[in-house]
Structures are given as C-alpha cells and as structure tokens.
Amino acid sequence: MSEMTQPAERGFSLQSLTRNRAFWPIFALLLILLGNRLIAPDFFNIEVVEGRIFGSLIVILIRGAPVVLLSIGMTLVIATKGIDLSVGAVIAISGAVAAVLVSTTDINPILAILISIGVGALCGLWNGILVAYFNIQPIVATLILMVSGRGIAQLITNGQIAIFNDETLAFVGTGVIAGIQFPIYICIAVFVIVMLLVRRTAIGLLIESVGANDRASYYAGIKAAQIKLFAYVASGICAALAGLILTADIKGADANNAGLWLELDAILAVVIGGTSLDGGRFFLGLSVIGALIIQSVETGILQSGLPPTFNLVVKAIVILIVLLLQSDVVRRWISNSVNRLRGQMRGQTA
C-alpha cells in the first residue's frame, strides 16, 4: 500500500525492494554465502564425483535438512500463536523407535519408518490436545514433552546408543538418487506438500485466522481447536522425519544428544524468516531460508578454519544482526537515514 503513495521512481526502486518481506532474509542469506565465498574460494564449486554431486552448497542443504523440516512444522505451529519446544525430544524418540525396531526385531524397515513417523504424529497429537482442548499455554504444554521426552527415548533405547545395520533405514540419511542425497528429497517433498496444503486449500487461511484471534475465529465458525491440532501433529511428523534423517545418518540413535537444542534453531529460523511469534501471517518459504541461513553460518565457520570454539559466538552475533535488520525500529532508522542521504544528494545536484 505504501508503494501506491510513493512517487514512482524510474525503473528499479530500492525502496520498494527493501519493503518486500522476502528481501531481508534472502539478502542476509546471500550476504552470508558471499562471506563464505570470501573465506573459502571454492565455496560455490559444485562437482560430480562418482555419480554424486559435491560442493559446499550441497553440504548446507544436506546438513540443514533436519532444521529445514523442523522449521516447516514450527512455522505452522507459530502461525497459530503457539510454539513447539518438544521437537528436539521428538527427534530423540522417533530415532530411538526406528533404531530399536530394526535392530531388535525382524520388522520390515519401511514399516519401522512408518511406525516412527506415527510416533512423531502421536507426540504432536499429545501437544495439540493439551494446547487446543485443555487450553494450556503452548510453551508449557510442549515443555512437558521437552523435559520428559529424552527420558522416554532413553527408556526405549535402554540408556544405550541403539546401533543398527539396516541399509533401508540408513538410506533415509545417506541414500543417493540421481546424484542428490535423500534428505534433500524429503525436504522438498514435505515443503511442496505443506505448501500445497496451506496455499491451495483453506487450511493456510484458517491457520492465520486462528493465530490472529482464536476466539474471533471460533465465533466465525472455524474449528480453532482442530486447526491447532493439525499444526502440532504436522510439527510432530516433521520432527519424526528429522529424527529419522539424523538417526539414519549415524546408523544409531543417541537418546541424549540427537536433535539437542534443534528446537531453538527451528524457532530462530522461523523468526528470521519474518513470521511473528504473535501468530497470524506466516511465511513457509522464508522459514526455510531462515534455516538455511543458520546452516550457512555453521558451515561457513567450519570451513573458515576458525577453531570450532568460535562457532557459538559467531552464530550469536550473526543472529543478532539478522534480528536487528528485522526489527521495525532499526529498519525505520535505516530507511530514514537513507532518505535523508538521498535528500542531501538531491539538494547537491539541484
């Protein structure tokens, strides 16, 4: 709407570009990728070795797959004005279920994977019921599973790291189809399915409505509780998929450390993508960009040869800068100073 009131500038307008919601996250991602390129000259190189595509950009996609998946589910939850702290614990549980099933029983690995996803959905259902039907604050409701979930996962693996040798399950994490690793396919498939669901059916609109005002939505005839339930179950399924990838990658389920603190990365990815923690409008694609930003920072630090001890500090600083760029106050300040600069320049040329 602001574009209407602004006098149209000739051709390319920086202002309308910076006003676009997608601009800042993508700008930040490009900046970080460029920074990585400066650190490691072969950063953008992509080559095919023995039928596999290799390159730092691909590494970011593969390593970032779990957080990308989590951020997709988390976006839906946050859009309903909720939050899901339990996804890290669900990763541990689903990984433990799959690993224990294939290593101790003769079950078909595909069935084991489906059961593991089902368990993730069940965890989401539990969260969803607490939030939607018991009206418990999302942060508390999901805290319960966050606290107890790792205990449950340890119960399943009996406190050991459950190791397995099943090729089918391992394929989820390390398999290659047409030169590209399987986790990337999972991410694309989940993204497309969720995108179709929320943008080609009414669910997306209903989620935004519930997130903006659940009582008003309820009075308008929307089954707010069911919409919330849907979001939490989706988040649980995404977490289970992430858990399968992480477990398959190392051929073992570590109940203590699998997916540790990934819920924080996922929430961060959503916020970097511009979805407000207050619910309402949500931006799935930008959440994925947010997840890729986080992964690019991590990969960049690893490649830069900086000691890994710098990892967290650099991550914190980058996050702060991205968040500052997102903040309305800072943005207004920047656009004001840009305008003033432009005014001065005009004054000089006139």
Q: Quick one: which segment of 26-34, 48-56, 138-146, 225-233 binds other proteins (CB under 8 A)?
A: 138-146
Q: What is the C-alpha separation between 311 and 162, in angstroms, rounded?
A: 29
Residue placing its CB nearer to other proteins in the complex, 189 or 324:
324
C-alpha separations of 45 from 171, 280, 302 in Å: 26, 40, 17
Q: What is the C-alpha separation between 331 and 344, in angstroms, rounded?
A: 20
Encoded one letter per residue, x for contact with other proteins by CB under 8 A and - for no contact, window 266-285 reads -xx--x-----x--------
Q: Quick one: which segment of 26-34, 40-48, 113-121, 140-148 binds other proteins (CB under 8 A)?
A: 140-148
Rg of the chain on CA atoms, in Å: 22
Nearest distance in Å: CB 225, other proteins: 13
Estimate the crossing angle of helix 167-174 against helix 182-200, to 10 degrees.
70
Residue placing its CB nearer to other proteins in the complex, 16 or 326:
326
When asked if residue 143 is in the footprint of other proteins (CB under 8 A), the reply is yes
When asked if residue 149 is in the footprint of other proteins (CB under 8 A), the reply is yes
When asked if residue 311 is in the footprint of other proteins (CB under 8 A), the reply is yes
Residue placing its CB nearer to other proteins in the complex, 124 or 173:
124
Backbone φ and ψ of 63, nearest 5°:
-65, -30
Tokens of 97: 């279920």
Nearest distance in Å: CB 169, other proteins: 24
Residue 204 buriedness (CB in 10 A; 0-12 / 13-18 / 19+):
buried
Q: What is the C-alpha separation between 91 and 137, in angstroms, rounded?
A: 22
Give me the DSSP letters along 102-129. Answer: HHHS---HHHHHHHHHHHHHHHHHHHHH
Are the beta carbons of 103 and 126 closer than 8 angstroms?
A: no
When asked if residue 319 is in the footprint of other proteins (CB under 8 A), the reply is yes
When asked if residue 335 is in the footprint of other proteins (CB under 8 A), the reply is no
In the list 19, 21, 223, 315, the residue contacting other proteins (rule: CB under 8 A) is 315
Residue placing its CB nearer to other proteins in the complex, 205 or 313:
313
When asked if residue 139 is in the footprint of other proteins (CB under 8 A), the reply is yes
Q: Quick one: which segment of 69-77, 237-245, 325-333, 341-349 binds other proteins (CB under 8 A)?
A: 325-333
Q: Are strands 162-163 and 252-253 parallel, antiparallel or unpaired?
A: antiparallel
Residues in touch with other proteins (CB under 8 A): 81, 83, 134-137, 139-141, 143-152, 154-155, 159, 213-215, 255, 264, 267-268, 271, 277, 309-317, 319-320, 323-324, 326-330
